[in-house]
C-alpha cells in the first residue's frame, strides 16, 4: 500500500496503545498507519476523554505503557513534542507514570505548558506530590513548582504538609511549622 493512502487510526488501534497491545499497533503500522496520526474525533471513556489529534504516543504515555512509548519513539522516530493540546510528557505527568516521564524527558521533551495550564495542575497536583520521584524529575527538568498558579492551588486546597514537602524538595530548610 502506498504511504499516501492513509490508514485511519481506529478506536481499536487507539485502545491497543492504551492497553499496551503491541501486535495491533505493529499490524496497523505495517498496513500503512501513520505513527504521528491523531484521533479525528473525541474518544470518550468513563473517566476520561481523548481530544482530536491525540496520538498513540500520547495514549500510551497516559497509561504508563513504556514499551509502546519506547517502540514509537525509538523504532518509529515519533516526536515526543507533538502537541494535541497536551504533549506525551503532560499525559505522562497527569498519570504520574515516572518511567514514561523519565524516558520522554531523556528524548528531549519540552516541559513548557505543564505549570501554565491550570487544569493540568488542578487534576494532577495531588498525584504528583504523592510521587517524590516524579517531583524530583520535574524539578531536575527545570520546572518551577512554585509559580503563582501552582502555589495558589496548593495553598487553597492542600495542607501544610504539602507546602513543607515542596520546601524540602526545593532544598529549603524546614520551618518550625513543618515539624
More confident residue, 120 or 66: 66
List of domains in the chain: 1-110 (1.25.40.20), 113-179 (no CATH)
Q: In this predicted model, what pLDDT tens digit does every residue of 16-75 receive, in sequence order? A: 999 999 999 999 999 999 999 998 888 887 677 888 899 999 999 999 999 999 999 999
Cα angle: 41, vertex 45, 47; to 5 degrees: 130
What does R_g of the chain's alpha carbons equal in angstroms?
18
Q: What is the pLDDT of residue 90?
A: 87
Percent of the chain with pLDDT over 90: 42
Q: In this predicted model, what pLDDT tens digit does every residue of 141-154 receive, in sequence order? A: 887 665 544 444 44
Q: What is the pLDDT of residue 54?
A: 93
Q: Please check whether residue 61 is in contact with residue 97, taking contact to mean a CB–CB distance below 8 angstroms.
A: yes
Query: What is the arithmetic mean of pLDDT over 152-175?
Result: 54
* pLDDT-based confidence at residue 113 (cuts at 50, 70, 90): low
| Residue 50, SS3 per DSSP | strand
Amino acid at each position: 500500500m502506498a504511504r499516501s493512502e492513509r490508514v485511519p487510526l481506529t478506536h481499536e488501534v487507539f485502545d491497543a496503545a492504551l492497553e499496551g497491545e503491541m501486535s495491533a499497533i505493529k499490524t496497523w503500522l505495517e498496513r500503512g498507519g501513520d505513527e504521528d496520526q491523531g484521533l479525528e474525533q473525541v474518544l470518550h471513556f468513563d473517566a476520561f476523554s481523548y481530544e482530536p489529534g491525540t496520538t498513540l504516543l500520547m495514549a500510551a504515555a497516559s497509561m504508563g505503557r513504556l514499551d509502546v512509548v519506547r517502540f514509537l519513539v525509538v523504532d518509529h522516530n515519533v516526536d515526543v513534542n507533538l502537541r494535541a493540546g497536551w504533549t506525551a510528557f503532560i499525559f505522562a505527568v497527569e498519570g504520574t507514570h515516572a518511567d514514561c516521564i523519565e524516558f520522554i524527558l531523556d528524548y528531549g521533551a519540552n516541559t513548557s505548558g505543564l505549570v501554565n495550564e491550570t487544569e493540568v495542575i488542578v487534576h494532577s497536583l495531588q498525584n504528583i506530590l504523592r510521587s517524590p520521584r516524579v517531583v524530583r524529575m520535574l524539578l531536575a527538568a527545570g520546572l518551577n513548582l512554585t509559580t503563582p498558579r501552582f502555589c495558589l492551588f496548593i495553598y487553597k486546597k492542600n495542607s501544610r504538609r504539602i507546602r513543607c514537602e515542596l520546601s524540602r524538595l526545593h532544598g529549603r530548610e524546614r520551618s518550625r511549622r513543618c515539624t
